[in-house]
Structure 1
Amino acid sequence: MAKKFLKRWMPDPAKIRGHASLQFLGTLLHDPNLFHLNRHSVSRAFLVGIFVCFLPMPGQMAVAALGALWLRGNLPISVALVWISNPVTMPAMFYACYQLGLWLLNAPQRPFHYELSIEWIMAELGFLLPPLLTGTLVCALFFSCVAFLTINQLWRWNVSRVWHKRSAERLARKRNNDA
């Protein structure tokens, strides 16, 4: 079961609460949903983590942690999910988001030539940023909502499957005992 697998890899909540650099959060880290593996906290963690992984900004892990605190989602899962956008996947993700933004804004495709200089970045930022931000926000909303609903439904399906399996085992034991 995925819950047992995740529990083995989860950090110790007491260790996180006692970390010196997190003392400024006070009692915020004492919410049990931040570390429990239940349907609500895990689906919220996916909502936060997937949303933040699409945002083109530094400090995604800190933003995901704050989002998990605010929505009371599983903190380690939401922070880990931002690593979907890592240095290997980020160029493809942001290029796809940029293309989606161009299409949504009905903006023309500009010829692209890259130059590593501050002048080039400042000149192109005005053209690149609106489609990129539009595309990333749309993708972040879409994929985070899909992840939230999918995790929610998969969790329900798994619980239902386990209940039916237990019920069938009880019925089989009862039949064996009666025979």
Structure 2
Amino acid sequence: MAKKTIQRFLPDHNKVKHHKYLKIFGRLLHDANLWHLNRRSARGAFSVGLFFAFIPVPFQMVLAAALAIPLRVNLPISVAVVWITNPLTMPPIFYCSYLIGTLVLGQPEQHFAFQPSWQWFMESLTTIGPAFLVGSFISACVASIVGYFGVDLLWRRSVRKAWLNRHKK
């Protein structure tokens, strides 16, 4: 059940292989294990994708693919899960990361107003930057661990339910 549900949402592997940003990996994308869907590859892919979803860097998809290849986890899942942080979800997720960072570092919460300028960005690196980066790293690690064990649990539950249904018949 879990496998069929996930496969429904996965993009075609040929489309992913020919994505303009993933072409840098060349022949590494031809490894069959990157496209195979099983419990091990799914839980690892969710973990990789969730980690990079919470890290505030550009080209998160490329970074997720770069880690999925040596770990030999499902590449389309790891790249797709990164999109949990999209333009709609980024502000609340990154604000929560900032709050976590202030809590961990013991800093008071600073009020700020976003301005799309280079000057604001450079000034914010010294004021809110440390708390934001620490909070983002902690959020990434926690989300990655929860995703890994959550997918594993859901997959096992799905397999057990299917096995029991077959056994009843």
Pairwise TM-score range, normalised by the shorter structure: 0.7 to 0.9
Relative to structure 1, is the Cα distance of residues 14 and 59 closer, same or farther in structure 2, using a 3 angstrom cutoff?
closer
Query: 1:8, 1:62 → 2: CA distance?
Result: 23
Query: 1:113, 1:20 → 2: CA distance?
Result: 35
- Where does structure 1 lack aligned partners over 5 or more consecutive residues? 170-179
> Residue deviations 1:107-127, cap 9 Å, x none?
122343454543333222211
Partner of 2:75: 75
Relative to structure 1, is the Cα distance of residues 84 and 24 closer, same or farther in structure 2, using a 3 angstrom cutoff?
closer
Name which of structure 1's ranges 114-123 and 54-63 shifts more when overlaid on structure 2.
Answer: 114-123
Correspondence 1:82-161 to 2 at 5 A: 82-161=82-161
Correspondence 1:166-177 to 2 at 5 A: 166-169=166-169
Query: 1:22, 1:96 → 2: CA distance?
Result: 30
Query: 1:44, 1:4 → 2: CA distance?
Result: 18
> Residue deviations 1:52-111, cap 9 Å, x none?
000111101111111211211111111111111001110111111001100100012234
Partner of 1:173: none
Q: Which amino acid aligns with 1:147?
A: G
- Where does structure 2 lack aligned partners over 5 or more consecutive residues? none
Q: Between the two structures, name the one with larger relative contact order (CA 8 Å, sep ≥ 6).
A: 2
Max Rg structure: 1
Is 1:46 matched up with 2:57?
A: no
Report the TM-score, using the length of structure 1 for normalisation. Answer: 0.83
Query: 1:19, 1:88 → 2: CA distance?
Result: 23
Q: Which amino acid aligns with 2:82?
A: V
- Aligned residue pairs total 169
Query: 2:10, 2:111 → 1: CA distance?
Result: 47
Is 1:66 matched up with 2:66?
A: yes
Report the TM-score, using the length of structure 2 for normalisation. Answer: 0.88
Identical positions, percent: 44
Q: Which amino acid aligns with 1:146?
A: V
Correspondence 1:4-23 to 2 at 5 A: 4-14=4-14, 16-17=16-17
Q: Does structure 1 retain, via aligned residues, the 8 Å contact 2:2–2:158? A: no
